[in-house]
């Protein structure tokens, strides 16, 4: 009897440790991409690195950058070799996004926005054409506990979506008056429970939002009240928490890449075909480059821009919950878009 109990307990321990906190065994996900590069670890320990944004250097694509939040400290800027280029320790920045070619002080700048949990504001940064990032100012919100953030640009205006942990979203239009930026609240709406990851497709004018414990929602990104439609529930592929998301363009068609944190994987949706989930992949260990596998991804970003010889089909950047080889503080992994493109090609054949 004792032996049976002992065996049961042993089996249970094995089962629990094998499951860890994932729902789908990673090993059952057969499509695997491998990270080429990882960034330097963040300065702070524990769950700290959170959300990246890829800055495409239009003049010198191989000198593009990755902006990554350290949610305990501020903003880090890395080059495509993963080396830290700049650090802006301005507060508890959670999510960051970028838009391009904004008229400011008589010149065109690129603009980054980050949700700042230190003062419940939107921190705005200018990125010059060499990739130097500088803080412009904080735009206050009326939300008590800001969390996720993403940007949207139509032909004439830039907008920031920022959400509260309670599910509320605010959409601010960025106004430039006498070269002082401000935010005008143009729309509010809410999801039922905590969202974080979001992304707007500037070409289609759609906004996609992850409700962490529930699924993915879509609404117009235009500053008008619009229907909010659920496009994905949690299912065999998409496991809570639903986290970071980005849009990859392949053959002029948009594909939504979403972090399924609970299954340590990423689900890809065909946005032009009823938002159908077309496949999932994980990010494995690249032994040759000594870059460890990626798990429990919070934020991610994807770009389909040609970033030079190393990343000709763009880039996926994913936050890694456990940075190994060697064990260190969290960081971001850079995955070539070529593998992602090939998977999409294979899944949509
Ligand atoms: Ca981001
Ligand atoms: Ca989250
Ligand atoms: Ca890892
Ligand atoms: Ca590592």
Q: How far is the CA of 3 from the centre of ligand 1 (A)?
A: 52
Q: How far is the CA of 111 from the centre of ligand 1 (A)?
A: 13
Q: How far is the CA of 51 from the centre of ligand 4 (A)?
A: 17
CA of 164: how far to CAs of 137, 231, 344, in Å? 20, 21, 33
Q: How far is the CA of 324 from the centre of ligand 3 (A)?
A: 5
- Using CA atoms, how far apart are residues 58 and 81, in angstroms rounded to an integer? 18
First to last CA, the chain: 56
105 contacts: CB under 8 Å, gap ≥ 6: 179
Ligand nearest to the CA of 161: 1
Ligand nearest to the CA of 243: 2
List phi, psi (to 5°) of 172: -110, 135
Q: How far is the CA of 50 from the centre of ligand 1 (A)?
A: 9
Per-residue pLDDT of the chain (349 residues; tens, 9 = 90+): 344 444 444 444 444 333 344 455 677 899 999 999 999 999 999 999 999 999 999 999 999 999 999 999 999 999 999 999 999 999 999 999 999 999 888 889 999 999 999 999 999 999 999 999 999 999 999 999 999 999 999 988 999 999 999 999 999 999 998 878 999 999 999 999 999 999 999 999 999 999 999 999 999 999 999 999 999 999 999 999 999 999 999 999 999 999 999 999 999 999 999 999 999 999 999 999 999 999 999 999 999 999 999 999 999 999 999 999 999 999 999 999 999 999 999 999 9
Radius of gyration of the chain (CA): 20
**Residue 205 region by backbone torsions, left for phi larger than 0, else alpha for psi between -120 and 50, else beta:** left
- Using CA atoms, how far apart are residues 55 and 40, in angstroms rounded to an integer? 17
**263 three-state secondary structure:** helix
As residues whose CB is below 5 A from the ion ligand 1, the structure lists 51, 53, 97, 301
> In terms of Cα–Cα distance, which of 131, 150, 166 is closest to 208?
150
Ligand nearest to the CA of 75: 1
The pTM is what? 0.93
Ligand nearest to the CA of 320: 3
- Using CA atoms, how far apart are residues 87 and 68, in angstroms rounded to an integer? 10
- Using CA atoms, how far apart are residues 107 and 97, in angstroms rounded to an integer? 20
Ligand nearest to the CA of 210: 2
Ligand nearest to the CA of 319: 3
Q: How far is the CA of 325 from the centre of ligand 4 (A)?
A: 5
Q: How far is the CA of 323 from the centre of ligand 4 (A)?
A: 5
């Amino acid at each position: 009897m004792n032996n049976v109990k002992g065996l049961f307990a042993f089996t249970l321990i094995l089962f629990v440790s094998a499951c860890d906190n994932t729902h789908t065994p990673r090993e059952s996900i057969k499509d695997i991409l491998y990270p080429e590069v990882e960034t330097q670890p963040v300065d702070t320990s524990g769950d700290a690195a959170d959300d990246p944004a890829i800055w495409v250097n239009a003049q010198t694509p191989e000198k593009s950058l990755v902006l990554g939040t350290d949610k305990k400290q501020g903003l880090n800027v890395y080059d495509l070799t993963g080396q830290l280029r700049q650090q802006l320790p301005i507060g508890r920045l959670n999510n960051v996004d970028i838009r391009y070619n904004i008229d400011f002080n008589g010149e065109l700048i690129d603009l980054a926005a980050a949700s700042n949990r230190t003062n419940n504001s939107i921190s705005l940064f200018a990125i010059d054409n060499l990739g130097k990032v500088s803080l412009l100012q904080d735009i206050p919100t009326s939300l008590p506990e800001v969390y996720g953030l993403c940007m949207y640009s139509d032909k004439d205006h830039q907008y920031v979506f920022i959400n509260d942990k309670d599910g509320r979203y605010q959409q601010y239009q960025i106004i430039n008056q006498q070269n002082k930026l401000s935010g005008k609240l143009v729309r509010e709406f809410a999801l039922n429970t905590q969202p974080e990851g979001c992304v707007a497709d500037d070409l289609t004018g759609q906004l996609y939002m992850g409700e962490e414990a529930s699924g993915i929602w879509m609404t117009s990104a235009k500053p008008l009240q619009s229907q909010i439609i659920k496009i994905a529930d949690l299912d065999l592929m998409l496991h809570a928490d639903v986290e970071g998301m980005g849009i990859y363009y392949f053959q002029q068609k948009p594909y939504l890449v979403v972090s399924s944190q609970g299954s340590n994987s990423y689900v890809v949706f065909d946005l032009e075909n009823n938002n159908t989930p077309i496949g999932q992949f994980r990010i494995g260990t690249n032994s040759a480059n000594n870059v460890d596998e990626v798990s429990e991804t919070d934020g991610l970003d994807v770009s389909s821009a040609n970033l030079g010889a190393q990343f000709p089909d763009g880039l996926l950047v994913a936050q890694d919950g456990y940075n190994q080889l060697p064990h260190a503080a969290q960081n971001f992994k850079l995955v070539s878009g070529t593998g992602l493109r090939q998977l999409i090609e294979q899944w949509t054949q």
